[in-house]
A and B are shown apart, each in its own frame.
Chain A
Amino acid sequence: MNKIKAFFTRDNFKHIFSSNGANHLYSSLICVAFGLLLGFIIMLCLSPDIAGTDFLMLITGGLVYYGSEGFGNILATLAPLLCCGVAIIFAYKTGIFNIGAAGQYTLGAFGALLFAILFKCHWTVCLLMAIIFGALWGVIPALLKTFCHVNEVISGIMLNWIGLFFVNYSMQTYAKGMVDSGDSFQTYQFWLSSSGDAYNPLGKLPNLGATSLGDCFSIAIFIAIIVAIIAFIVMEKTTFGYQLKASGYNRSATKYAGINAKKNAILTMAISGGIAGLGAGLYYLSGIERWSAVSSSILPQVPWNGIIIAFIAQMNPIGAIFASGFLSLLSIGATATSQSVFPKEIADLITSIIVYASGLTAITLRIVPWIKNKIQLKKTGGVKELPLNKEGK
């Protein structure tokens, strides 16, 4: 009992609130607050009269305006976002910036839809194919990096566009049974009996009978959260995760310590790509949107938001759950505002400001310790301390 008491003494909590992890948390909260504030100011500039009410609608709309269906939609969009965020985090921990997630996501979408519509497979098979397609696309930049020294950011960018063009090409030629040429080449809504030959109700993710949560809600959210937790455990609690992180910190030192850095880099990218592909599977198999083979001249938005999530979450998979919840809350809420004044892209604007601000960790990591130091200086009335210990930078 005394031990427990001792644990909860003030000093212990002080330690928690000034630890490195806490500083990262403060830093992302500052970025989020900054993004929201700037977004609000922009809304004030667009229309001062209704900016207040619409800003409230933006951050609560998904829950209040749309009711339980809105909540279901938030959960449905959360799942793929979370997967993409975890994919980015997993690679980033190993020192690889997986900017190619968009390409892996695109291929994942292709894999899932191909097996759902053309081969009429069960949704588990479709998800598995999404993972495999994504993983294969993720391995390419890793191979190029380890064997040809090609920078993974450059090859990732190229592979994004190759992937997009390849998928759209496929859907118009040898796999054209996937798209409805009478409906601007969008993929069939295979879960509806009206989709004719493409009808395959088994391909859609099950919704566990929760019909009040809207058409898009499915078990996707549970799959995504499990993936995030597994990723966290693998990275923090296993030897494999330790090796990956070590090679992210210092490639030569890990090689010297007998860790096969090449194998690990390839494995990491396979896992990262697989998770990104899974995200696409969860998105397109729950019927949130249909892939359009002709008009998709830009890369899908979800994997780019994954980058935002990874940085808001400060590279923590558990934090990513909350970050993606926040992002999907905003994106659903943004459709509830007065569209003629505040278009739904205002959510993208706010999140992109947040990710831009999170590039400024050099400043944001220092703000809270600096304020605390000021307060302490006032209390003690003198003796200046260094703003931060060495670990906190």
Chain B
Amino acid sequence: MGAQVVILLSYVLIFFIALTIVAIGGMFSERSGVINLGLEGTMVFGGFFGLLTLNGLSATACPPFFIVLITILVGMVTGGIFSLLLATVAIKFKADQTLVGTAMNLLATAFVVVLAKRISPASSSSIAFIKDYFIVNLGTLPVNIFLPLGIIIIVVSWFVLYRTRFGLRLRACGENPQSAASAGVNVIKFRYIGVILSGVLAGLGALAYIIPTSGYWNASNGVSGFGFLALAVLIFGAWRPLRITSAALFFSFFMALSICYYGFFHAMGIDLNPDVGVTSELFRMIPYVLSLVVLAFTSKKSRAPKAEGKPYERGER
């Protein structure tokens, strides 16, 4: 029983921190007024280049500390660069943000699979990597490097959003960009920063999701909806850092259960299998259903940033 709890807990921690990081990234983008539906694609893109770096560096004599550092930096930077695809067309050319986000998801997966198959000698889309550098064992519980990083990000993002001039201006750009502009705020600049931050955090979140769970990654599966789940967490968390954190904890519990429900309940003497109507899909479905129900009840007085998804027009009121 104890061993099963530890397994469940380790999965909860992995998903919790990855979901929080990506959702907080999405929060920065949406709070500045741009909906980033391309989170999924950004994760795939940033994660791929991070893993490629990790794979390459593992073969060299580079000290583990620098391997970890460089991998994480590469993931964040490439994620940020990829999000520029959204930022430029959505902010400068006022393109449909839903369309561009969708295009980015398709683009990232296709690009990454083509590149992965080309690089790999057997033209397979899988990348193998060594995850040991990122994991420290606290007793029996494995803890990865992303846990402290994520906690720092939660605290810093809350502080930045609510206790700094930058945060106030960012929020103003998402609520009422015209009045922010009339107060001398450069709306365009803040929206760029918001979107790039979301890309950087999505790249980091991708690594936090992929690295601790297994030793290889199949690019053609992408992150199988994890970016969309982060979007659901963002909405469930009402666009606020601390609520996002608790929503992510709640969501990650079900996600962890979907992986190790059998062993967990088996240890308690309950046999769950498809014959009694339980499969892992059931647990993966629950967070989505719940967020839909919550949305149905709360959307009439929505907490969403008022100007999100709308291109900024200087002359509009």
Q: Evaluate contact between B106 and A351: CB separation under 8 angstroms.
A: yes
Please judge, given known A-B contacts A158-B232, A169-B281, whether A148 and B274 are in contact too, CB under 8 Å. Answer: no
Selected from A165, A304, A346, A348, the residue in CB contact (under 8 A) with B102 is A304
Q: Evaluate contact between B281 and A168: CB separation under 8 angstroms.
A: yes
Q: Evaluate contact between B222 and A298: CB separation under 8 angstroms.
A: yes
Q: Evaluate contact between B277 and A155: CB separation under 8 angstroms.
A: no
Q: Mark A288-313, 1 if CB is under 8 A from B, else 0.
A: 00000000011100001001100100
Query: Cβ of A339 < 8 Å from any Cβ of B?
Result: yes
Q: Mark A129-157, 1 if CB is under 8 A from B, else 0.
A: 00000000000000010001111011101
Selected from A148, A154, A356, the residue in CB contact (under 8 A) with B104 is A356
Q: Evaluate contact between A162 and B292: CB separation under 8 angstroms.
A: yes
Query: Cβ of A360 < 8 Å from any Cβ of B?
Result: yes
Write out the residue numbers on chain B whose beta carbons fall within 8 Å of the beta carbon of A220: none
Selecting from A171-179, A208-216, A376-384, the interface stretch reads: A171-179
Write out the residue numbers on chain A whose beta carbons fall within 8 Å of the beta carbon of B109: 345, 348
Please judge, given known A-B contacts A161-B228, A176-B274, A298-B225, whether A346 and B288 are in contact too, CB under 8 Å. Answer: no
Query: Cβ of B224 < 8 Å from any Cβ of A?
Result: yes
CB distance from B40 to the nearest CB of A (A): 10
Q: Evaluate contact between B277 and A174: CB separation under 8 angstroms.
A: yes
Chain B CB within 10 Å, residue with most, of A99, A161, A346: A161
Write out the residue numbers on chain B whose beta carbons fall within 8 Å of the beta carbon of A368: none
Whole-angstrom CA separation of A309 from B105 in the bound complex:
16
How many residue pairs, one in A and one in B, have C-beta atoms under 8 Å apart?
A: 155
Query: Cβ of B60 < 8 Å from any Cβ of A?
Result: no
Please judge, given known A-B contacts A297-B221, A339-B123, whether A307 and B102 are in contact too, CB under 8 Å. Answer: yes
Query: Cβ of B65 < 8 Å from any Cβ of A?
Result: no
Q: How many residues on B have C-beta within 8 angstroms of the other chain's C-beta atoms?
A: 55
Whole-angstrom CA separation of A42 from B113 in the bound complex:
13
Whole-angstrom CA separation of A115 from B289 in the bound complex:
26
Whole-angstrom CA separation of A299 from B222 in the bound complex:
11
For B117, give the chain A residue with the smallest CB separation.
Answer: A343
Selecting from B87-95, B131-139, B206-214, B239-247, the interface stretch reads: B87-95
CB distance from B84 to the nearest CB of A (A): 12
Query: Cβ of B300 < 8 Å from any Cβ of A?
Result: yes
Q: Mark A45-82, 1 if CB is under 8 A from B, else 0.
A: 01000000000000000000000000000000000000
CB distance from B289 to the nearest CB of A (A): 6
Whole-angstrom CA separation of A97 from B107 in the bound complex:
19
Query: Cβ of A341 < 8 Å from any Cβ of B?
Result: yes
Q: Evaluate contact between A148 and B296: CB separation under 8 angstroms.
A: yes
Please judge, given known A-B contacts A46-B118, A149-B300, A176-B274, whether A165 and B285 are in contact too, CB under 8 Å. Answer: yes
Q: Evaluate contact between A169 and B285: CB separation under 8 angstroms.
A: yes
Q: Evaluate contact between B285 and A148: CB separation under 8 angstroms.
A: no
Selected from B118, B225, B292, B299, the residue in CB contact (under 8 A) with A159 is B292
Please judge, given known A-B contacts A149-B300, A297-B221, A362-B95, whether A155 and B114 are in contact too, CB under 8 Å. Answer: no
Q: Evaluate contact between B279 and A169: CB separation under 8 angstroms.
A: yes
Q: Evaluate contact between A150 and B296: CB separation under 8 angstroms.
A: yes
CB distance from A147 to the nearest CB of B (A): 8
Q: Evaluate contact between A144 and B274: CB separation under 8 angstroms.
A: no
Write out the residue numbers on chain B whose beta carbons fall within 8 Å of the beta carbon of A360: 89, 93, 95
Selected from B35, B99, B224, B292, the residue in CB contact (under 8 A) with A359 is B99
Please judge, given known A-B contacts A165-B284, A172-B274, A176-B274, whether A348 and B296 are in contact too, CB under 8 Å. Answer: no
Whole-angstrom CA separation of A363 from B94 in the bound complex:
10
B-side residues, CB < 8 A to A, are: 35, 37, 85, 89, 93-96, 98-100, 102-107, 109-111, 113-114, 117-118, 123, 125, 220-222, 224-225, 228-229, 231-232, 235, 274-275, 277, 279, 281-282, 284-285, 288-289, 291-292, 295-297, 299-300, 302, 304
The 5 lowest CB-CB distance pairs between A and B, nearest first, are A348-B110, A352-B106, A349-B110, A359-B95, A356-B103
